[in-house]
A and B are shown apart, each in its own frame.
Chain A
């Protein structure tokens, strides 16, 4: 959460999108209520209706940095954050 606040929330060239893989909206909502997620989210039932599904990995957590046309640039949390810093400095 702190990393998000420091490196994404203050960066108008990048946005974090949470792709929720929780099996139901109720579960996703219960978790969000516990953690108070501050970022935009796409819920599981809608993932296949978006281009996000093209980037789904084999497990979670899974991070992918894409450009605005959906081209994957890098994967992995640290690599993504480093790339964002490089691309948006």
Chain B
């Protein structure tokens, strides 16, 4: 079966990772630039899509600004994930009971609200404007 170049190109595009990021890269001495989509990097090498070609090369070939961009990317990926919502066990019977009915005033109207942690105690404040 013949596989056309178009099919191969299409397949390579369709299998691109979802985290590609377009960027203009600059050489270490600043004399050259090229546009490429960031794919991944290690401590020593980087892989980018240059046009339809995947290329890998040493980080040392990149400008300081590009290497700083990669360092920031590393830091972002190491940041702790957002705190998980409290479990039903952590909320307890009362917390679980109210958790789906909580709202918070956002400045214009009430909107759904989720507890960010599971307090040990709840101060219930019954009130009304009338």
Contacts and interface: CB of A to CB of B under 8 A. Distances in A.
Interface in A61-88: 61-70, 73, 80-81, 84, 87-88
Contacts of B39: none
A60 B104 contact: no
Chain A binding surface SS class: mixed
Interface string B14-51: 00000000000000000000000000000000000000
A19 B122 CA distance: 12
Contacts of A84: 121, 123
A74 to B, nearest CB: 10
Nearest to A8: B123
Contact of B94 (A12, A21, A36, A69): A69
Contacts of A25: 110
B94 A68 contact: yes
Interface string B87-129: 0000111110110011111011110010101111111111111
10 contacts: A13-B120, A14-B123, A16-B123, A17-B98, A19-B124, A30-B129, A39-B104, A52-B97, A64-B123, A68-B92
Given A17-B123, A67-B122, 16 more contacts: A12-B119, A14-B123, A16-B125, A17-B98, A27-B129, A29-B109, A39-B104, A40-B115, A41-B103, A41-B104, A62-B126, A63-B124, A66-B124, A67-B121, A68-B122, A69-B94
